[in-house]
Amino acid sequence: MKLMWFHLMPYTELPDDFNQKHPSVWVDIHSSLFDPRRAHHMYNDFMDELEFAAEMGFDAICVNEHHSNGYGLMPSPNLIASSLARRTTDTALCVMGNSLALYNPPTRVAEEFAMIDCISGGRLIAGFPVGSPMDTCFAYGQNPSMLRERYYEAHDLVKKAWTEKETFAFSGRFNQQRYINIWPRPIQNDPHPPIWIPGGGSIETWRWCAEMDYVYCYLSYYGYKAGLTTMQGFWNEMAKLGKDRNPYRAGFLQFVGVAENRQQALDLYTGPAEYFYGRCLHIDPRFATPPGYTTEATQRAGIESMVAKAANVANPATKAALKATNMKDIVDGGYVIIGSPDEVVEQVRHVGTSLNVGHLMLLLQFGNMSKDVTKHNTRLFAEKVMPRVKDLFGEWDDKWWPKPLARGQRAAVPAYQPALAPAE
Amino acid sequence: MSELATTTVEVNGFPCRIWSKGRGPKLGFLAGLGGLPRWLPFLDRLAETRTVIAPSLPGYPGATGHNVLDSHLDWVLAVRQLIDKAGLGGCDLIGASVGGAFAADLAAIFPGRVRKLVLIAPFGLFDEQDPAADPWAQRKDNVASLMCADASRWTALVAPPEGANSIEWPIEMTRAFEAAARAFWPLGNIGLEKRLGLIEVPTLILWGERDALLPPSYAAKFARRINGAARAQTVPDAGHLAYLDQPDAVAKAALAHLA
């Protein structure tokens, strides 16, 4: 099993009365709550944490894209990833991802991902989300009725930009470009960097991932219990399509807090978890469902079936049925796994086997968790949990993992320059 | 008065419903947000002296095909085909809300297609100093009061009729909002301002004085820029879809202008 360390980069100082005084953490969150001087430290802490995770031996470090969002400070995950490419050596860089329809022309995504792949020596995982309604339709003004069509077309353009050897013209419904010929080009060119698709649980996306042979990632904030129905739906669909049950076809997001024992875990992680599920997911429902964002097939399934009801759970703004914001319910609901290393090992193995996911994306920093606690959590997981879960799925081949240059072929990472650091 | 008749025409290969009723000279109606899930008292008032013909725009109740329309030109050409196929070329036309923007464009771009024009709180403009509300970012329980001064009028418009398919009905209602979004996202500004000067026909602009979606101040902008004789008139006790709130008053004002 691959253990991947994911950062959302939440603003950690939303006020205690945030939910009472502000309608939404997303789209129209007030600028007065953002202190750039504090954000300077947050960004640097967060990047330290990602680098620390790489040092501790996680298989990948993961970043993602959000806009006008109080729990996600990465409008451009590519900026962070390029910095990480310089400060890490062997760890895969999972950019989860670039919302394709927001880039005009989408050629930009092909170029920036190729840059990251070159700088990192071929360590990029290229994530292509459609993007949430809040990010795409509201913060970025995209038309919800055309979003998916634009997304698929942009995907075709990016993939062709990576693989086509000659300068070509692209004549799409939404994108027309006479000369596409990206420089640089990705190191991973057989045929292109691995493409992973974060999705909410629509059948159309499962089928598309199967057809294209992409990794499907279910990135819900509600943990393995709520995710079970969706992942079962995914695997049932794979079976129908004649695909094997290779767990590396799938990725799944899970919050985890490890400590010496359960009580200590509660002491350490209750504050950050309640901050996240309370303040960070305080989203005005008026931004949840712009018309056209959800396809009619998914609407039909939503009215008809439980699978799609579970799918809606992935959209944090439509979480009507799941609103736990206190630690007991958060833990009972499986949103956050906590406990001693033994307890976490048992639960992580259960997540892996019950959902059949080979790529486990871990949120070991969440809410307003400090750098110290984050590093503590990360170290305990790396030292006491990781070695006891890595063996899972050893019989399967991960065909969807980056294929970097051999170590000897890669540029040496420059030594840290102590002259630039303040005296200890 | 003739009974309500339903026919279907094709636009770009997709079916569009055409409702007609009444007697006398033909009068077209392009409905506002939500379209026409059902026949309206307002249309009955008009049908007393006119043959009312109400084509459904692509994606609105009774019609599909919105999702092949990618540009404003696509939309305008679809509306032109619909008007022609409904036999409304050269006739009087009432357009409301989203339908109002298309009616205005039709009169501007295809002179001769429209005889006299009535616009009821038409979409098409946006003023940063006096911004319109966002119809697509509303909590469910706010929509009705954004559409009508008397919220129950909207609720009655979209309520499933007896025997309606409980799965397909709400999808159809959502589709009407998607079709509007497809053409007017995100601000309703389709650059109509630049084309209003091409409208040469006598035009009456009606605006609900309690329109919570589009500011009634926009009425004067339309009246000022339209080249033909144009007059703006507010409708008391009416919201954005004034023809739902005040069917008699709106019908009376429209018929007087079209006489």
Look at B177 and A291 and tell me if their CB atoms are within 8 Å. yes
Look at A144 and B66 and tell me if their CB atoms are within 8 Å. no
Domain limits, chain A: 2-420
pLDDT band at A202 (very low <50, low <70, confident <90, very high): confident
| Coil/strand/helix, residue A143 | coil
pLDDT band at A301 (very low <50, low <70, confident <90, very high): confident
Cis peptide before A418 (omega within 30 of 0): no
Tell me: the pLDDT tens digits for A371-416?
A: 999 999 999 999 999 999 999 999 999 999 999 999 999 998 777 6
Mean pLDDT of A191-197: 98
Mean pLDDT of A112-127: 98
Report chain B residues touching chain A, CB-CB < 8 A.
66-67, 70, 136-140, 142, 166-167, 170-171, 174-175, 177-182, 185-186
pLDDT band at A298 (very low <50, low <70, confident <90, very high): confident
Quick check: A292 contacting B, CB < 8 Å? yes
Structure confidence at residue A315 (pLDDT):
55
CA dihedral B12, B13, B14, B19 (to 10 degrees): 80
Tell me: the pLDDT tens digits for A256-270?
A: 999 999 999 999 999
DSSP string, A344-382: HHHHHHHHHHHHT-SEEEEE-S-TT--HHHHHHHHHHII
Tell me: the pLDDT tens digits for A329-351?
A: 999 999 999 999 999 999 999 99
Tell me: the pLDDT tens digits for B50-88?
A: 999 999 999 999 999 999 999 999 999 999 999 999 999
The average confidence (pLDDT) of chain A is 94
Look at residue A53 and tell me whether its pLDDT is greater than 90: yes
User: In this structure, which amino acid lies at residue A332?
Assistant: D
Work out the percent of chain B whose per-residue pLDDT is above 90. 98
Q: Which residues of B touch A146 (CB under 8 A)?
A: 70, 182
Cβ atoms A6, A253 nearer than 8 A = yes
Q: Which residues of A touch B142 (CB under 8 A)?
A: 286
Tell me: the pLDDT tens digits for A3-18?
A: 999 999 999 999 999 9
Q: Helix crossing, B72-85 with B97-109: angle to 10°?
A: 90
Residues paired with residue A177 on neighbouring β-strands, in sequence order: A170
Q: Which residues of A touch B178 (CB under 8 A)?
A: 144-145, 291-292
Cis peptide before A191 (omega within 30 of 0): yes
Cβ atoms A123, A85 nearer than 8 A = yes
Look at residue A305 and tell me whether its pLDDT is greater than 80: no
DSSP string, chain B: -PPPEEEEEEETTEEEEEEEEESSSEEEEE--TT--SS--HHHHHHHTTSEEEEEPPTTSTTB--GGG--SHHHHHHHHHHHHHHTT-TTEEEEEEHHHHHHHHHHHHHSTTSEEEEEEES--B---TTSPPP-TTS--GGGHHHHH-SSHHHHHHHHSPPTT--TTHHHHHHHHHHHHHHHHHTTTSB-SGGGTGGG--S-EEEEEETT-SSS-TTHHHHHHHH-SS-EEEEEETT--SSHHHH-HHHHHHHHHHHH-
Structural domains of chain B, with CATH: 5-258 (3.40.50.1820)
| CATH class, range A2-420 | alpha beta
Rounded to the nearest angstrom, the gap between the alpha carbon of residue A209 and the centroid of all alpha carbons in its chain is 17
Structure confidence at residue A307 (pLDDT):
46
Look at residue A321 and tell me whether its pLDDT is greater than 50: no
Structure confidence at residue B1 (pLDDT):
61
Q: What are phi and psi of B15, to 5 degrees?
A: -75, 140
**How many angstroms separate the CA of residue A26 from the nearest CA in chain B?**
13
Among A302, A336, A301, smallest CA distance to A320 is for A302
Cβ atoms A47, A61 nearer than 8 A = no
Work out the percent of chain B whose per-residue pLDDT is above 70. 100
- Across the A/B interface, how many CB contacts are shorter than 8 Å? 59
Look at residue A105 and tell me whether its pLDDT is greater than 90: yes
CB atoms within 10 A of CB A122: 22
Tell me: the pLDDT tens digits for A136-190?
A: 999 999 999 999 999 999 999 999 999 999 999 999 999 999 999 999 999 999 9
Structure confidence at residue A84 (pLDDT):
97
A289 → chain B, closest CA residue = B137
| Coil/strand/helix, residue A383 | helix
